[in-house]
Amino acid sequence: MSMLDSKLQFSNAQAVTASAASTYMYDQLTGDQDTTTFTTSPKDIFGTATYFGEDLGIGKGLGTPRVVVNTGTVFATLTGLTIQFDGAPNNATAQASGLRSDLTFVHYMATAEILLAALTANTRIASFDWPMRATGKALPRFIQLYYTVDGSNATTGTITADVTLGDDDAQTTLAYTSNNYKVAS
């Protein structure tokens, strides 16, 4: 069972009826979960005017964070949904304002389109390792998910998305094996 922390949540029963960013973004510099504003960092770190981010890691290994996305209520009327993992470095405009809207998020990875038939109530629709930063992309300070609605806008549907360090690889298969399962010899 994966371990969850409410401060490491991108969405908590967020209604996704049109393409939108997750309710929360994660600030890797301060460890804060923010919505529309964030705490600006010191102007000079180690005597420079450089803004620091955090490397997203090198892949699955001990302590690699994992993003787990589940539906709450069933989705209706859309064709499908794509989930993107986005990152943004701090910039001078955002540093001055402290506003999420002044950040420039870029996509680091995305799921394949999840079709409407799979967007049933209380279903895990995505689970992926915290992605590696692509060569040439800036080290992000802020992380968010972005939900892209394909086809018509949804009339219903909610998402809860968490970051976990626990292993959840077997979660979708546990229900398919009965208790006291025994392999014939």
Encode pLDDT of 5-59 as tens digits. Answer: 777 899 999 999 999 999 999 998 888 899 999 888 655 555 555 555 555 555 4
Residue 46 inside a domain? The answer is no
Q: How many domains does the chain have?
A: 1
Look-up: residue for tokens 């506003």? Answer: 99
Burial zone of 36 (CB within 10 Å; 0-12 exposed, 13-18 middle, 19+ buried): exposed
Which residues lie across from 17 on neighbouring strands? none
Residue 50 inside a domain? The answer is no
| Helix, strand or coil, per DSSP, at residue 96 | helix
Residue 156 inside a domain? The answer is yes
Residue 119 inside a domain? The answer is yes
CATH number at residue 124: 2.60.120.1110
Residue 11 inside a domain? The answer is yes
Residue ranges making up the domain that contains 104: 4-33+62-171
Cβ partners under 8 Å of residue 82, min gap 6:
110, 111, 112, 113, 114, 147, 148, 150
Residue 147 inside a domain? The answer is yes
Please write the tens of the pLDDT for every residue from 82-125: 999 999 998 999 989 999 999 999 999 999 999 999 999 999 99
Residue 121 inside a domain? The answer is yes
Residue 26 inside a domain? The answer is yes
**pLDDT at residue 40, rounded to an integer:** 81
